[in-house]
Structure 1
Amino acid sequence: MSEYDYDLFVIGAGSGGVRAARVSAAHGAKVAVAEEHRVGGTCVIRGCVPKKLLVYGAHFAEDLQDAKRFGWEVPDCKFDWPTLRENVLAEVDRLNGLYTQTLDNHGVEIIQERATIEGPHQVRLASGRTVTAKYILVAVGAWPMVPDCEGAEFGITSNEVFHLEALPKRIVIAGGGYIANEFAGIFHEFGSHVTLVNRSDQILRGYDMQIRDRLLQISMMKGIEFRFNAPFEKVVKQGDGSLLVHMKGQEPVECDALLFATGRRPKTEGLGLENAGVELDGQGAIRVDDYNRSSCQSIYAVGDVTNRVQLTPVAIREGQAFADTVFGGNPHKVDYGSIPSAVFSHPPLAGVGMTEAEARNKIGSISVHTSDFRPMKNVLAGRNERGLYKMICNAETGKVIGLHMIGPDAPEILQAAAVAVKAGLTKQDFDDTVALHPSMAEELVLMK
């Protein structure tokens, strides 16, 4: 008999925690998962999945207009927010059930309670019960940050935005990252007047400058307003229920809803990690080694709570690596090189590998190839939006070290192209590939 109640106790049933629990159980471990909210985590319940469904819904605004240019008699259409909201939430419920079923099918015990750490091998549940485990895996993810200013309580975050009772006529979105820009596009297409407020002078730091500048240009042409270098001072709720947002050095902005999309912080507060001597970094993230082990030998962590790469597929890879290493007899690390990422803005953008600025700093001798074009559909639809594809190569070897694009279906195209970048293919390999015509993706093999 084991001296512990479980071989593995997972705190948090998000993407990383579920994968780690399921695979560990498949390797023969006795596993339990504690989740204080719903099984599925940020991505499934309040993140990328419901948000992508809103993105799909928003695209119909332009598609319906474009259809007229393609010969379709489209009557004036009215958008109904409650219908989309309820359908999206129903899909979230379905996925929550599937994730729960997956854990059940693998014999993982699900405990619907908050769990905190009492010691290297001990966990306390909200009910007061304590359990022991040979290993503890922390996979609680991250939580939206809210600026510390007067009246901040009148705003909402990406956690609450999917539950809005009504579509705001005017919305202020705070932030310049992918969440802010995605919701800016969504609400604009739904008919809201959108003002994006950012404390710095740029959007989407970390993405290639040409690509993000193109998104800014297109967004402004659509009518989205931007306020840069505008840190919040206070938020005032007015008599009619509207909000007046005050920013330093800017005129106040009146709105009906305020969405904070100002980043996410690892959700470690109050978790009891100090009881086991688990070290945190300056952002409150759990410090881990290449094998996801914390400073406490029996406690591991994966996903956003480690603040390495805050992406769902990365958390899943980390959960798999943890399970295979600890219970599968196959120690291995996650390769963080050439991870593709996307922003589901309007239009979307995506990238993999180094940006031009990074390549110039790290390699020096590079060649840059671009294709700046107007997609065929946009031409007939009468839209002036242009796509931009950009390839960065090592000038000496010809190896493609970065690929970035903005335009319709850019994330779908980049996923396949990312394989080529990961495999270390060269510009000549792209040039030697016959174009698939007519398509937007063919621009990848036609760049000069």
Structure 2
Amino acid sequence: MTNIVIGSGPAGRLGSYELGKLGKDVILIEKNHIAGTCLNEGCMVICALSDISKFIDSNRRFNEFGFVKSQISVSYDKIVEKITETQEFLRKLNQIENESVGNKIIYGEAKINENNVEVNGESLEYDKLLLATGARPHIPYVKGSKYGLTNKDILKIDNLPEKLNIVGGGIIACELANIFSTLGSEVNVIARSEFLKEIDPDFKKYILKYIIPQVNILEHTDISECGKNKVVLSNGDELEGIPFFATGRIPNSEIAQGFVDINPDNTIKVDEFMKTSRDNVYAAGDVTGGWQLTPVARMEGICAARNMAGYLNKISYNSIPQCISLNNEYSFVENEKIKDVKTETITLPSIAGPNSFWKILTGDTGLAKIEFDSENNKIKKINSISPSSVSDVAYLSYLMRIDSPLDEYSNFLEIHPSSDTNYKIIKNLWL
């Protein structure tokens, strides 16, 4: 019998690929483009734009030092053209990868029934079903909200906005503010509560001072109306600029309403094996809520696929690393299993390494903080801003997940030069 996967984002694409590798007959159904939000509207678009903003930031620094004399003119329509061209290339690769294990891919909008899926007028029977339909941007109800852009519209903007009003105070709002302010837009961030309220206060201060100092942050502020090129604040003040909503995401769970159990927040309810309330129906990725991160969606898709194929397994969500993609990357992770213990904290500037040398004279090489349980010799929490923080924190989070004691870090040999401040703290100060 056939396994059907609906949705080809990170969860569905990796889940279908895993099923194919395990020798199962698979049909992957995708409504729009293969690879989902990540490649087409989300992470990869942000990464592409961040690469450009980092280059512009470095060029500005080198000009200020006087050993580079150059001026940069940004062509946003050319940026969009090349991102789109790259996306088309990667879509082909993703399709070839899935088809290489014998999977069939159908493009169309699916509807699910008791034992079959309807797509493009055809009824397909399934033995097991995986729902990986992802999520979409949440647009708050305010007058004129139709004028507000979201991450789905980044590649639809004709020209670089002269002024941009980003509504929202989380990670996406911060990343967009960093990108567009570096590209030359005048940016306001309007946060209903606090900006970056979930991160360490010391790192919020660093980001505001060294990474996005030119961005105007309005905290505890709401909007009452949007126009095509303005927002009206709840106090009546008007701000010129395109409105851009970065106000969270909502699950694409409508396909499953009345078919499987749904959580109060409209995410699909699953157990630890990614199984829904129906024995032969599974769900994975953003549509199930939880961690809205591509690597987690991949893990969930693979986990669901293995369980569908009869190889029981489940995921540990402890010590999930995260990142805010900025001109100087900020990464962080916490070991949630360490609770109610006395911890010690060490904080110091990041040490110059790859892409940090030319930041020494301006004092913005980065920042690192590690909180640890000295009694049990375990790391509790890591925060790091440095060009290598993404790989550093990912590596350290793995050691946290396998419950490695701090002594094990002494066996690690870094490649010089390295800005792995977290590792240097662990190796040189306590062992």
**2:215 match:** 224
CA separation of 1:317 and 1:30: change in aligned 2, threshold 3 A:
same
Q: Is the 8 A contact 1:176 1:203 kept in 2?
A: yes
Q: Deviations over 1:249-304 (max 9, x none)?
A: 3632111x2211111111112x1431x3x111121100000111101122110000
Note the C-alpha offset of 1:201.
Answer: 1.9
CA separation of 1:372 and 1:431: change in aligned 2, threshold 3 A:
farther
2:396 to 414, 417, 425: 417
**1:25 match:** 20
Trace 1:363-442 onto structure 2 (pairs within 5 A).
Answer: 363-373=340-350, 375=352, 377=356, 382-430=361-409, 439-442=418-421
- Return the letter of the residue paired with 2:147: F
SS for the counterpart of 2:98 is helix
- Are residues 1:214 and 2:206 paired? yes
**1:268 match:** 253
- Return the letter of the residue paired with 1:75: S
**2:52 match:** 57
2:243 to 249, 258, 265: 258
SS for the counterpart of 1:365 is coil
Trace 1:229-308 onto structure 2 (pairs within 5 A).
Answer: 229-237=220-228, 243-249=229-235, 251-255=237-241, 257-269=242-254, 271-274=255-258, 276=259, 278-308=260-290
- Return the letter of the residue paired with 1:142: A
Kindly, what percent of the aligned residue pairs are identical? 24
Q: Distance in 2 between matches of 1:106 and 1:438?
A: 41
Structure 1 portions without partners, runs of 5+: 1-5, 238-242
Q: Distance in 1 between matches of 2:301 and 2:61?
A: 43
**1:338 match:** 319
- Return the letter of the residue paired with 1:224: V
Note the C-alpha offset of 1:210.
Answer: 2.5
- Are residues 1:182 and 2:175 paired? yes
SS for the counterpart of 1:156 is coil
Note the C-alpha offset of 1:412.
Answer: 2.7
- Are residues 1:309 and 2:291 paired? yes
Q: Distance in 1 between matches of 2:219 and 2:419?
A: 33
Note the C-alpha offset of 1:432.
Answer: 7.8
1:82 to 70, 77, 83: 77
Note the C-alpha offset of 1:115.
Answer: 0.3
Q: Is the 8 A contact 1:374 1:386 kept in 2?
A: yes
Q: Is the 8 A contact 1:235 1:244 kept in 2?
A: yes
Q: Distance in 2 between matches of 1:246 and 1:199?
A: 13
**2:125 match:** 132
SS for the counterpart of 1:392 is strand
Q: CA RMSD in A?
A: 2.3
CA separation of 1:438 and 1:227: change in aligned 2, threshold 3 A:
same
1:446 to 421, 425, 431: 425
- Return the letter of the residue paired with 2:267: A
Q: Deviations over 1:163-208 (max 9, x none)?
A: 2110001001111111111111000110001111111123152x33
* Stretch of structure 1 that moved more, 414-423 or 363-372: 414-423
- Return the letter of the residue paired with 1:65: R
Q: Distance in 1 between matches of 2:358 and 2:100?
A: 51
Scaled by the length of structure 2, what TM-score is found?
Answer: 0.92
Q: Is the 8 A contact 2:343 2:372 kept in 1?
A: yes
Q: Report the count of equivalent residues.
A: 425
Scaled by the length of structure 1, what TM-score is found?
Answer: 0.88
Q: Distance in 2 between matches of 1:117 and 1:177?
A: 35
- Are residues 1:197 and 2:183 paired? no
Q: Is the 8 A contact 2:225 2:233 kept in 1?
A: yes
Q: Deviations over 1:121-179 (max 9, x none)?
A: 22222x33322211111000010000100000001110111221100010011111111
